Homo-oligomer: A and B are copies of this chain.
Amino acid sequence: MSARTVKLAVIPGDGIGPEVVAEGLKVLSTVAPAHGLALDTTEYELGAKRWHATGETLPDAVEEELRGQEAILLGAVGDPTVPSGVLERGLLLRLRFSFAHYVNLRPVRLYPGVRTPLAGVAPEDIDMLVVREGTEGPYAGAGGVLRKGTPGEIATQDSVNTRFGVERVVRYAFAKAAERPRKKLTLVHKDNVLTFAGELWQRVVREVGAEYPQVTTDYLHVDAATMFFVTQPERFDVVVTDNLFGDIITDLGAAVAGGIGLASSGNVNPEAEFPSMFEPVHGSAPDIAGQGKADPTATILSVALLLEHLGYAKAAAQVETAVAEDLRARADSGAVRSTSQIGDDIARRVAE
């Protein structure tokens, strides 16, 4: 097999970001060679430290460089010393928007051996794929403030939903649903209140759904969906939803599937016109940074999503299997391991 070299940008970021990214790269570099994959990694220092030092979140020149990469692995950005929103809007969302990451892919799966806060739920009850829109909706940043600081102040926040943006993510979700054994797609929205956006989402799901007669479609209001996440998680297969609802239900999904330490995500541009970006759902957790306490599993599972996106499905499956085995072993042993020990153990399983 002749090796293909993939240009991978690495953004370790803040807090536990560098620690978990190191383990992700460890596993990636273990699995890659056997699949003919060589990595040309470039590290970018972005996040709180850079912002404090230079006031920059994402300089244009860095964005241009990133654009020339094939994929991005990101740890976590954010720190309590940076005002809320600065790094989120200026770095993370800017990357998602600039690189048209219109599919924010978030598997929600309960691995055997993992403890869920739900009573009487088995691994086979929780196995869904949330396809969250990633480039518009209430995340557009539209809105503003009038008469700030006065009794007449008004702040608006506008959700922007386009046919173009909704259709592309809905098409992706149907294609995914058609590949899965259960072939079910649930739209989550709030169309009885957000009538303008809701009607567009419903209509697009109906129209695209007509091309997928083998896929069963369902609809739930977001409030009802959160109930069913905890009372009937087996109800869900593929879920397609807007940017904000997707943010909310995937954190809830992470919680029911054993916690944010295991939740992976991909910010995907399916056409590969731009580099896709893979990151754990968790944040930078500054309280435990630098102590080797962070669980790198979410990052390692994000590496599996990265491999699959790059076309290395077998390598991805190998990583996922290694993680599943490690999670089962954890349940048995109960031993506390450091971040790098978990990375070592998973890498070892991958190598076997």
Residues of A within 8 A of B (CB): 78, 84-85, 88-89, 93, 116-119, 138-139, 141-145, 150-164, 190-200, 202, 222-224, 226-227, 229-231, 244, 247-252, 254-256, 259-260
- Are B93 and A157 in touch, CB under 8 angstroms? no
| Residue in B145, B156, B247 whose beta carbon sits within 8 Å of that of A159 in the complex | B156
Q: List 27 A-B contacts (CB under 8 A).
A: A84-B198, A85-B191, A117-B118, A117-B231, A138-B157, A138-B193, A138-B194, A143-B158, A143-B197, A144-B196, A145-B199, A145-B200, A150-B163, A153-B200, A154-B160, A155-B200, A156-B158, A156-B196, A159-B159, A190-B247, A223-B248, A226-B226, A226-B249, A227-B252, A229-B252, A230-B252, A230-B256
B231, A252: Cβ atoms closer than 8 Å:
no
Q: Which residues of B contact A230 (CB under 8 A)?
A: 117-118, 230, 252, 255-256
Q: Are B251 and A197 in contact (CB under 8 A)?
A: no
Residue of B nearest to A165 (CB): B154
- The complex places the Cα of A88 from the Cα of B144 at a distance, in Å, of 28
Check B161 against A157 for contact (C-beta < 8 Å). Answer: yes
CA distance A231 to B255 in the complex (A): 7
Given the complex of chains A and B, what is the CA–CA distance between A162 and B147 in angstroms? Answer: 10
Contact of B226 with A192 in the complex, beta carbons under 8 Å: no
CB distance from A127 to the nearest CB of B (A): 18
- Which of A154, A199, A222, A231 gathers most chain B CB within 10 Å? A154
- Taken together as a complex, chains A and B put the C-alpha atoms of A156 and B249 apart, in Å, by 22
Q: Which 9 A-B pairs have the closest CB atoms?
A: A223-B251, A153-B163, A227-B255, A226-B252, A119-B119, A157-B159, A88-B192, A85-B195, A155-B196
Closest residue of chain B to A250 (Cβ to Cβ) is B223
Separation of A318 and B65 alpha carbons in the complex (Å) = 68
Tell me the minimal C-beta distance from A311 to chain B in angstroms. Answer: 30
CB-based contact B84/A191 at 8 Å: yes
User: Once the chains are docked, how many angstroms separate the CA of A84 from the CA of B194?
Assistant: 10
Which of A84, A153, A157, A226 has the most chain B CB within a 10 Å cutoff?
A157
- Nearest chain-B residue to A153 (Cβ)? B163
Nearest B residue (CB) for A88: B192
**Partner of A157 from B155, B158, B163, B250 at Cβ < 8 Å:** B158
B residues less than 8 Å from A88 (CB atoms): 192-193
Provide the residues of chain B in CB contact with A247, threshold 8 Å.
Answer: 190, 193, 222-223
Distance A119 CA – B116 CA, assembled complex (angstroms): 8
Asked if A196 and B164 sit within 8 Å, CB to CB, the answer is no
Which one, B118, B161, B192, contacts A155 given CB within 8 A?
A: B161
B158 engages A152 (CB within 8 Å): no
A281: nearest chain-B partner, CB-CB = B223
